[in-house]
């Protein structure tokens, strides 16, 4: 059984993933620091700041709609201290067509979270797919 901090971090991450699935932009950005840094699959190499982060999601939501895309956590591992946490996850993030060919999870996710003013917030996200 994990620590209380791990359970709190798990809830932040699961709520974020649910917001992504529901194309809820405010829910996606809700638990992020103002100067969040994201390394994403599409360019640019680095997205910095909450405004830039916010702008990356509408195109993804459009892809989800058009491709019946998934965004489901298959595995989530968390290490949490008193005020810093690190999480790794494997997700199924694929079009309906791709899932029908191979339902295996393919998206890798790493997250860094500091605890600020009693709240766990996402400060860093790194999304990647393995090269074929």
pLDDT in tens, 28-72: 999 999 999 999 998 899 999 999 999 999 999 999 999 999 999
Q: Measured in whole angstroms, how far is the alpha carbon of residue 97 from the centre of its chain?
A: 22
Query: Which of the two residues, 116 and 2, has the higher pLDDT score?
Result: 116
pLDDT in tens, 77-113: 999 999 999 999 999 999 999 999 999 998 999 999 9
Give phi and psi for 54, each to the nearest 5.
-55, -40
User: Tokens 């059984």 identify what position?
Assistant: 1
1 pLDDT above the threshold of 80: no
Q: Measured in whole angstroms, how far is the alpha carbon of residue 18 from the centre of its chain?
A: 10
Cis peptide before 127 (omega within 30 of 0): no
Residue 125 to residues 68, 69, 89, Cα–Cα distance (Å): 23, 20, 11
Cis peptide before 19 (omega within 30 of 0): no
3 pLDDT above the threshold of 80: yes
Q: How confident is the model at residue 2 (pLDDT cuts 50, 70, 90)?
A: low
């Amino acid at each position: 059984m994990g620590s209380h901090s791990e359970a709190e971090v798990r809830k932040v991450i699961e709520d974020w993933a649910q917001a992504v699935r529901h194309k809820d932009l405010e829910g996606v950005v809700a638990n992020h620091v103002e100067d969040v840094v994201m390394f994403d699959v599409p360019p640019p190499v680095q997205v910095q700041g909450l405004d830039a982060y916010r702008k990356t999601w509408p195109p993804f939501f459009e892809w989800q709609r058009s491709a019946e895309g998934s965004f489901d956590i298959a595995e989530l591992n968390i290490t949490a201290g008193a005020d810093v946490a690190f999480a790794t996850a494997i997700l199924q993030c694929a079009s309906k067509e791709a899932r029908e060919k191979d339902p295996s999870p393919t998206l890798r996710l790493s997250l860094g979270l500091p605890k600020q003013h009693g709240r766990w917030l996402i400060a860093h996200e790194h999304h990647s797919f393995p090269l074929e």
